[in-house]
A = this chain, B = another copy of it.
């Protein structure tokens, strides 16, 4: 079973037993009601050898990434982060100065996004460095933007260029908290998600949750310089990198087509395609065998329409 299947199994079991769960674990963050407040709740981890390489990454960057991934999820709902707790698993041989630098990186990024770290747990172990961050967020006048609200005819936009993050951006990215808040405040967002698993995968999530399809136009897709540099090294096209690489942490969002020019003029996003009808359900449909294939397409410069290639990257466990 892969990670996604396991997550789906867990999600199906959890259900919604509590009327105060406004949004459950299927979105970027859960949204909970406490009195009149809507509180976002999210956890995420980074592990040495999976999300960073401690032989090359600066310790401050590890701390940054640990919290910035959660910040990005709150940004993807157009909300503001507020409080975090951090669980650290520390190799027994780790040096104190090293751990302090990890914490300083974490703290600096938290402060930059007005987030207070209010608790933590530290455990030494005979393993690698790992950090789990749990983050609370809150609405700022506007309701959280879900993944599932995209409508046929919406314009599809991103906040920045994509691809090649493995060359460095995955450790240094700026979570789009300010952009997410401003987009939610100024525009009528129908759906939003952050690009952690790559455009193809995350656009697939957005389409699946919204019950729609989408077309991305090659001619409009902003390709990061890093994607071109990586392409020169590995022979995979820059386009493919922009589509499939994970960890850009830009926001992907759907808005009414008429609003798109205003967003573009504001500098908060650029159009990369549009939302279309859902794929025909030939005995399958979303979530069934075969999955949501062909829900998202790529319109090439020469006019050909292709399925958006999936990265296919997913943890797998033994049966």
Instruction: Report yes or no: B42 in contact with A119, Cβ–Cβ below 8 A.
Output: yes
**How many whole Å from A13's CB to the nearest CB in chain B?**
7
When distances are taken between beta carbons in the complex, the residues of chain B under 8 Å from A32 are 82-83, 118, 136
Which residue in B7, B93, B122, B128 is a CB contact (below 8 Å) of A318?
B93
Give the oligomeric copy count: 2
Instruction: Report yes or no: A103 in contact with B10, Cβ–Cβ below 8 A.
Output: yes
Contact with B along A72-107 (1 / 0, CB 8 A): 000000000011011101101111100110010001
Q: Which single residue of chain B is at the shortest CB-CB distance from A118?
A: B30
When distances are taken between beta carbons in the complex, the residues of chain B under 8 Å from A95 are 317-319
Instruction: Report yes or no: A44 in contact with B87, Cβ–Cβ below 8 A.
Output: yes
When distances are taken between beta carbons in the complex, the residues of chain B under 8 Å from A93 are 317-318
A and B contact pairs by CB, cutoff 8 A, 9 listed: A7-B120, A10-B103, A13-B103, A25-B85, A34-B34, A39-B136, A50-B123, A96-B318, A127-B127
**Which A residues are within 8 Å of any B CB, using their own CB?**
1, 3, 6-7, 9-10, 13-14, 17-18, 20-21, 24-25, 29-30, 32, 34-37, 39, 41-45, 47, 49-51, 82-83, 85-87, 89-90, 92-96, 99-100, 103, 107, 116-128, 130, 132, 134, 136, 138, 315-319
